[in-house]
């Protein structure tokens, strides 16, 4: 590695680490003061607080890496430009790509790191964070040690094109209360409605109590063809208690493999809108790490072209970073919204902004350098 590359890369690394640390510190500080009353009233111990905030770190790194990467790169090159070092480097015959090589390699490395953290650490840390929140922070001291809290208003799409509405689910005993299950065919026509006061997991299947099963599909559309009432009935429901618990997992906290499996499992449910949104999320998980490289690519020309007083260069680079980051996030949000609104295909909505900003960056670079 050239001496110049090491010099630039060292500056980028130091600023990047400091920026991520600052963002993490501010996040923890704001969250701590926002939840201070809950921590005190529920007698949350210091060890629990440490575990709780450590579980936030992978998500903080993933969410703040883009701006931290951009700020560190722009700050470094703006400083070089302010001290006329860029002029000296270009006078030696180096082109844009040679000058910015350390920053681009660093951005690629950060993109790979974000992808790795998002795949391997964020899902597990999110589950740990939710577990601590449910069992230690959002419960009163008298409730601690009594197992996991009840899950209320659980709604999800299941197998056989069924939509589940569960009033309460007890993860300790696997008991259900207030059960409503609506089944559709592949054309989204109502074919079955199951209502039960209570359900219990027997170890191999579900037993419902005070159950009413209404079948549809007679001569009149959406008119019941038969109604069966049972005080006890073993149900043909393939979902297990573990499947019910998985429904609480936010798709944003799933890795690619988990989300792909989730989509495949419910692809035949007939919930076309939900499946479309999940496919958008799947493509977004692929494009999300790339934003680190793309935003740096489009920001570097401005850092090398910016001129002004030396003391003003810091504020100029930060302002450029904020503007570029804001425009990228807005454009990305619009593309995802259009895809979830079915105005674009899932891959089009997720890839629209990365492709657009990449072409914009290359246009600016080849036009000015």
Residue 212: pLDDT above 50?
yes
Residue 31: pLDDT band with limits 50, 70, 90: confident
State how far the Cα of 291 lies from the Cα of 335, in Å rounded to an integer. 14
For residue 96, the tally of other CB atoms under 10 A from its CB is 15
Adjacent-strand bridge partners of 227: 214
- How much is the average pLDDT of 101-107? 94
Question: What 3-state class would DSSP assign to 50?
Answer: helix
Rounded to two decimals, what is the model's pTM? 0.73
Rounded CA separation 171/201 (Å): 11
Residue 325 is predicted with a pLDDT of 81
pLDDT of 288 above 80:
yes
| Average pLDDT of the segment spanning 136-143 | 56
Question: Could you give the dihedral angle defined by the CA atoms of residues 341, 337, 118 and 156, in that order, rounded to the nearest 10 degrees?
Answer: -40
pLDDT in tens, 260-275: 877 776 665 556 777 7
The answer, yes or no, to whether residue 139 has pLDDT greater than 70, is no
The confidence score (pLDDT) of residue 143 equals 47
DSSP notation for 315-353: HHHHHHHHHHHHHHHHHHHHHHHHHHTTSS-HHHHHHHH
Q: What are phi and psi of 287, to 5 degrees?
A: -80, -20
Confidence of residue 249 (pLDDT cuts 50, 70, 90): low
pLDDT, tens digit, for every residue of 88-103? 888 888 888 999 999 9
In this predicted model, which residue has the larger pLDDT, 11 or 249? Answer: 11
Judged against a pLDDT cut of 60, whether residue 308 lies above it is answered with no
pLDDT (0 to 100) of residue 109 = 95
- For the chain, how big is the Rg over CA atoms in Å? 27
Sorted by where each begins, the domain ranges of the chain are 3-132+281-368, 160-238
How many residues in the chain?
369
CATH class of 160-238: mainly beta
CA pair distance 233, 149, nearest whole angstrom: 27
What percent of the chain clears pLDDT 70, i.e. is strictly above it?
Answer: 86
**Mean pLDDT taken over the chain:** 83
């Amino acid at each position: 590695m050239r001496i110049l590359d090491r010099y630039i890369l060292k500056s980028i690394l130091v600023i990047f680490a400091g920026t991520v640390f600052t963002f993490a510190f501010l996040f923890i500080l704001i969250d701590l003061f926002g939840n201070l009353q809950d921590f005190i009233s529920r007698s949350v111990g210091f060890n629990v607080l440490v575990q709780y905030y450590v579980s936030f770190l992978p998500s903080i790194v993933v969410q703040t890496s883009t701006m931290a990467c951009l700020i560190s790169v722009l700050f470094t090159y703006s400083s070089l430009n302010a001290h006329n070092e860029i002029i000296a480097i270009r006078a030696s015959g180096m082109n844009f790509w040679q000058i910015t090589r350390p920053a681009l390699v660093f951005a690629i490395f950060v993109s790979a790191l974000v992808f790795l953290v998002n795949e391997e650490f964020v899902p597990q840390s999110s589950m740990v964070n939710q577990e601590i929140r449910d069992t230690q922070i959002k419960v009163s001291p008298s409730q601690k040690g009594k197992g996991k809290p009840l899950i209320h208003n659980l709604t999800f799409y299941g197998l056989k094109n069924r939509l589940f509405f569960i009033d309460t689910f007890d993860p300790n005993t696997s008991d259900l209360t207030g059960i409503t299950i609506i089944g559709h065919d592949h054309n989204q026509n109502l074919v079955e409605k199951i209502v039960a006061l209570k359900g219990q997991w027997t170890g191999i299947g579900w037993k419902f109590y005070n159950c009413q099963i209404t079948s549809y599909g007679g001569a009149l559309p959406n008119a019941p063809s038969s109604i069966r009432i049972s005080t006890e009935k073993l149900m043909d429901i393939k979902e297990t208690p573990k499947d019910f618990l998985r429904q609480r997992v936010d798709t944003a906290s799933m890795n690619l493999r988990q989300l792909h499996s989730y989509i495949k499992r419910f692809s035949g449910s007939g919930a076309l809108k939900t499946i479309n949104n999940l496919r958008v999320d799947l493509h977004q998980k692929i494009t999300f790490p790339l934003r680190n490289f793309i935003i740096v690519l489009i920001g570097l020309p401005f850092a090398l072209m910016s001129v002004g007083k030396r003391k003003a260069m810091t504020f100029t680079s930060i302002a450029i970073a904020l503007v570029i980051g804001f425009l990228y996030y807005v454009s990305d949000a619009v593309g995802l919204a259009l895809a979830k609104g079915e105005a674009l295909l899932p891959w089009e909505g997720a890839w629209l902004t990365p492709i657009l900003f990449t072409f914009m960056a290359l246009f600016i670079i080849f036009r000015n350098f």
